[in-house]
A and B are shown apart, each in its own frame.
Chain A
C-alpha cells in the first residue's frame, strides 16, 4: 500500500547569492514497511527531500501526500501536530535537549501531542529506552552519554508517539562503524514491525543493505534500486 507519494516536487531557495534549486521535479512512491536509504553527494538535495517529507519545509512546486494527508498544503501549526503523531525524526547530531534527562527527552513529544494519558507516559518512555538498551541512563542528562547512546535515545524519542514513519538524516554520520551497525539493526527491527524508515546516509555499506536505495544528484532522483534478494543476518 502506498504510504508516501510525491508528485513533481521542487524546492528552490532564495539567497543573497541568487536562487538555488535543491530539488527539481521529484516523483517518489513509498510503501508501508520499506527501509529506504537515500544517497547522494553533499548538496544533492537528500536532506531537503527529508525535510519536505517531514513537513519541516514546504515544496515550491508539486504535491506530497502521506497517508492521504496532503502535507504540502498544511499550515505550520497543523504540520507540527501531524508530524508529532506520524513522523519520527532522527538527526545526525542527535539534537537532544541538553537540559532534559534522557527519559524526559523521550516524554517530550508525548507531552506536545498528548498522545497518552499523563500517568502512562513515563512507563512507555522507559519501555522505549529499554528497547534501545539505554534504560540505565534514563535519569542522566544527554551530555553524560556517548554518541551511540545519544542516538539510541534520539531513536527512542522518535518512537515516542509510535509514528508509522521514521525519517533519519545521516543517523550514523557521527558514529563509529560498530555503533552505526547497531543503529542500523534497530531500524531493521522497526521495519519488521511494519514501520517505514527513510534514512539519508553517506555510508555506502549501510545503504547497500537497505531494501531500496534512492540516489539523488543535483536535486533529481537518478537511481531507485530495490534489493529484495538481500538476506538479513542478525
Chain B
C-alpha cells in the first residue's frame, strides 16, 4: 500500500470525533434516503400485490337480482375474466347496551369458490353455516367480539338476530375497520334470510380480461355488459367502477410516500451541506500538510485524488452503517404501515436497485459535497500553506457589512470579538447557517404541518354544529321523528334532512361512483360548510347543488356553473353546481334544498337524516344522548341505520392521521440531530483555527471562563441567526408541503397554520444545541496548556 494511504488512515484515526462526525453526516443522508427508497419498494410492491391478489372487481353491476344463469352468461363474454354474484347489506352490529356500529355484510354465494374480491381465511372456520358469520380480522376488535361468541346483527327494517362468530378472514381490499370504525362480516345467503332479507343477490362483480388498469376500457366493457344484460331481459340500476388497481387507502400511502420523499430529500441536502462543512474542517487542518506533500513532489492531481480517496473511504464506511440501518427501519416502518392499513407483507425483500441508489448517493453526495473544499484546499500554494500559522490573517474591514460589525455599539470587547469572529469565515458561516437553517426549517415545518392538519380538522368539524348524526334505513315522517326526540334530555336542537343516493351520468351512458345526496332545511343552523368556490344554497334555489370537495375528487371535471345529469336510480335529473364546499373526512356528497329534494324524490315531509345538537359537548353527554335517541327511535318504530356522534367521527379521522404524526415526529428529531452536528463541526474548526489566538488572549489575561464564553457566545449567535432564517423559510415551505400533503391526503389544501410553538420550541432547541455544540470545542481549547497553545501549528 502506498505510504500516503497510511497517512490517510492515521489522519482519520488522529481526529476520531471529526472522522466519526463525517461518517455520521454521510450515514444520516444515506439512512434518510435509503429508508425512503426501501420503504417505497416494499410498501408499493406489497400493497399492490395484496390488493391485486384479491382479484378486485373491475366494475360492479347493481341490479334487481343476479341469478346463476346471468352470471354464467356474463362470464362467457370474452371481455370478462371472472364474474361473481354478491350482495352487500349495510346493517348494524351491537357492541354494547344501546351501542351499535355499522356492519357491512357481504353475502357470498360459495365460500369455497370466491373468485372476485377474494378474502383469505385467517382463523376458525372459513365457511360459515346458517346463523354463522366470519368477520374481517381487523374488524374483530372494533366489533368488540371474538371467535366463538355470538353477536347481535340487524339489517334495515328487521329485528336484530344473534349470529355466531365462527372465524376471521383477511380482506386486504377493504379499508381498515379501525380507521373507518365499521365492521365487515361475511355470511351466506341462507344467513341473510335468517336476518330477514330474502331477496337474493343484487350485485355482479366482474373482472375484465385485459386492460385491467384502463378505466375507459373498463367503463366501455361495463356498458357493453349492461346492454348485454338488458337485452337478456334483466335490468341494471347502476354501474360502479372502483379506481382500477387502487387500494382504498392508496391515497394515504401516497401522502406518506410524498412526505417520505420530501423530507428524505431535505435530509439528503442537509447531509450534503454537513459533509461540505466537515470536509472543509478536515481540509482546514490539512493545509500545511498539503504544502509539505507538494514540496515533496506531489502534484495537485495526486492531492485531489488523495482526498477524494479519503472521502470515498468515509462514504463506504457510512454505507456499511447506513444501509443495514435503513433496511431495518424501512422494514419496521413497512410492518407498521401494513398493520395500520391491514395488509400482509409477504416478503420484506429489498430490491437490488435500492442498494445501487444508496451506494450512488453514499459515494456521490460526499464526493460532490467535498469537491469545493478539496479543490480549494489543493489550490493553496506551498508558500501560503507553509505560512499558515494559526493566527488567521483573514482580511476584514473590506465590505460595508464588515464595517457595520466593526462598530462597537457599546458592547464589551470580548462580546464584540465573538460577534466579529462569527463573520470572519463567511463561506463557512454560510454553510453552517445553511445546515442549521434547513434543519430548523424542517423542524418548524413538521410542527406547522401537524398544526395545520389539526386546524383543518378542527375547522372542518367546527362547521358541523351538530353532535349526533342519525341515519334512518328509509325516509320517515319528520313529525314522527321530531315527536320521538322532543322529550329527550340534553337535546338542544334537531334538524331533519332528506337523503338519497345519486351518480353522475356520463355522456356514454355510464355512471360515476354513487354519492350521497343530502337535503338540509332552508337556512340550516347545524351545518355551515366552508365554501371553496361558488356559494352555499339559497332558499329559492331549484335544481342546484353544492358538492363537497370529496365528490369533486371523484368527478374532477365538475365546475361551478356546470349542468350535470344525476341518476337517482329511477330517473336522471339535471342539476347545476352552484358551489364547492370543503368537508374533510366526509364521503362524496351533494347538497340540495329540501324543497327541491322533496319534489324530485316525492318525499315531502319525510327525512332520512337527523342531526341533533346537544346542550353539552363532552363525550359522556354525546354517549348518553346517543343511547337515549337509540331507545327513543326503537320505541317509535324508526329503523336506524347509523347513529354516530361527531367525536367518534373525528376520532376516526384523526386515527387516519396517526401514521403521519409518528412520521413527522421522527423527521423533526432527525433534523435536530443533523443541525447540531453541523454546528458542532463548525465550532470545532473555528476553535482549531484560533488555537494560537486563544493562547494569545490567555497570555494577556483571559481566563478559561472568558474563552469558554467567547466561543459559546459565537455559537449561540450563529444559532440565533439560523433560527431567524429558519422561521422565515418555514413559512413558504409549510405552505408548499402543507398544500401538497393536503391535496394528496385530504384532497384539499390544508388550512396553513404557522404555529408559534414550532418557532419557540426551535428557539429553545437551537440555543441549547448551539450551547452544547460550542461548549465542547471551547472547553478543549480552554484546557490546553498555554505553551502548547502558543506553539500550536
B587 within 8 A of A: no
Residue of A nearest to B396 (CB): A16
Check A57–B383 contact: CB distance below 8 A.
yes
Output the least CB separation between B364 and chain A (Å). Answer: 26
Check A157–B14 contact: CB distance below 8 A.
no
Summed over the interface, the residue pairs from A and B with CB atoms below 8 Å come to a total of 80
A111 within 8 A of B: yes
Check A51–B383 contact: CB distance below 8 A.
yes
Check A104–B3 contact: CB distance below 8 A.
yes
Segment at the interface with A among B289-297, B347-355, B369-377: B289-297
- Chain A residues whose C-beta falls within 8 Å of the C-beta of B651 in the assembled complex: none
From A57, A83, A98, A108, residue with most partner B Cβ within 10 Å: A108
Check A99–B11 contact: CB distance below 8 A.
yes
A4 to B646, CA, bound (A): 96
A97 to B381, CA, bound (A): 17
- Find A51's partner among B2, B11, B293, B382 (CB 8 Å cutoff): B382
Residue of B nearest to A83 (CB): B297
- Chain A residues whose C-beta falls within 8 Å of the C-beta of B88 in the assembled complex: none
Q: Is the interface of B mostly helix, strand, loop or mixed?
A: helix
Contact with A along B528-562 (1 / 0, CB 8 A): 00000000000000000000000000000000000
Output the least CB separation between B89 and chain A (Å). Answer: 79
Check B295–A100 contact: CB distance below 8 A.
no
Check A108–B7 contact: CB distance below 8 A.
yes
Output the least CB separation between A215 and chain B (Å). Answer: 23
Check B381–A108 contact: CB distance below 8 A.
no
Residue of B nearest to A122 (CB): B3
Which range contains the number of B residues in contact with the other chain?
Answer: 20 to 34
- Chain A residues whose C-beta falls within 8 Å of the C-beta of B395 in the assembled complex: 16
Check A91–B386 contact: CB distance below 8 A.
yes
Which range contains the number of A residues in contact with the other chain?
Answer: 20 to 34
Supposing A51-B382, A77-B300, A108-B4 touch, asked if A99 and B295 sit within 8 A by C-beta, the answer is: no
Supposing A80-B294, A93-B793 touch, asked if A56 and B6 sit within 8 A by C-beta, the answer is: no
Check A100–B302 contact: CB distance below 8 A.
no
- Find A80's partner among B3, B6, B288, B297 (CB 8 Å cutoff): B297
A89 to B292, CA, bound (A): 9
- Find B3's partner among A51, A54, A96, A100 (CB 8 Å cutoff): A100
Check A56–B4 contact: CB distance below 8 A.
no
Residue of B nearest to A167 (CB): B295
Check A84–B301 contact: CB distance below 8 A.
no
B194 within 8 A of A: no
B506 within 8 A of A: no
From B288, B289, B295, residue with most partner A Cβ within 10 Å: B295
Residue of A nearest to B11 (CB): A99
A85 to B2, CA, bound (A): 18
- Chain B residues whose C-beta falls within 8 Å of the C-beta of A108 in the assembled complex: 3-4, 7, 293, 296
Check A77–B299 contact: CB distance below 8 A.
yes
Contact residues, B287-320 vs A (CB, 8 A): 288-289, 292-302
A162 to B10, CA, bound (A): 27
Contact with B along A48-59 (1 / 0, CB 8 A): 000100101100
A95 within 8 A of B: yes
- Chain A residues whose C-beta falls within 8 Å of the C-beta of B292 in the assembled complex: 95-97
Check B383–A80 contact: CB distance below 8 A.
no
- Chain B residues whose C-beta falls within 8 Å of the C-beta of A16 in the assembled complex: 395
Supposing A57-B381, A83-B295, A107-B3 touch, asked if A99 and B14 sit within 8 A by C-beta, the answer is: yes
Output the least CB separation between B302 and chain A (Å). Answer: 6
- Chain A residues whose C-beta falls within 8 Å of the C-beta of B293 in the assembled complex: 97, 108, 112
Output the least CB separation between A141 and chain B (Å). Answer: 9
Check A95–B386 contact: CB distance below 8 A.
yes
- Chain A residues whose C-beta falls within 8 Å of the C-beta of B288 in the assembled complex: 95
**What residues make up the interface of B, taking CB atoms closer than 8 Å to A?**
2-4, 6-7, 10-11, 14, 288-289, 292-302, 381-383, 386, 395, 793
Top 3 nearest A-B pairs by Cβ distance?
Answer: A84-B297, A99-B10, A109-B296
Supplied contacts A51-B382, A97-B7, A110-B3, 5 more A-B pairs, CB within 8 Å: A83-B297, A89-B295, A95-B292, A104-B6, A108-B4
- 30 example contacts (A-B, Cβ-Cβ < 8 A) are as follows A51-B382, A56-B294, A57-B381, A76-B300, A77-B300, A80-B294, A81-B299, A84-B297, A89-B295, A95-B386, A97-B7, A97-B292, A99-B7, A99-B14, A100-B3, A101-B6, A104-B3, A104-B6, A104-B7, A108-B7, A110-B3, A111-B2, A111-B4, A112-B4, A112-B296, A112-B297, A112-B299, A112-B302, A160-B296, A161-B297
**What residues make up the interface of A, taking CB atoms closer than 8 Å to B?**
16, 51, 54, 56-57, 76-77, 80-81, 83-85, 89, 91, 93, 95-101, 104, 107-113, 157, 160-161
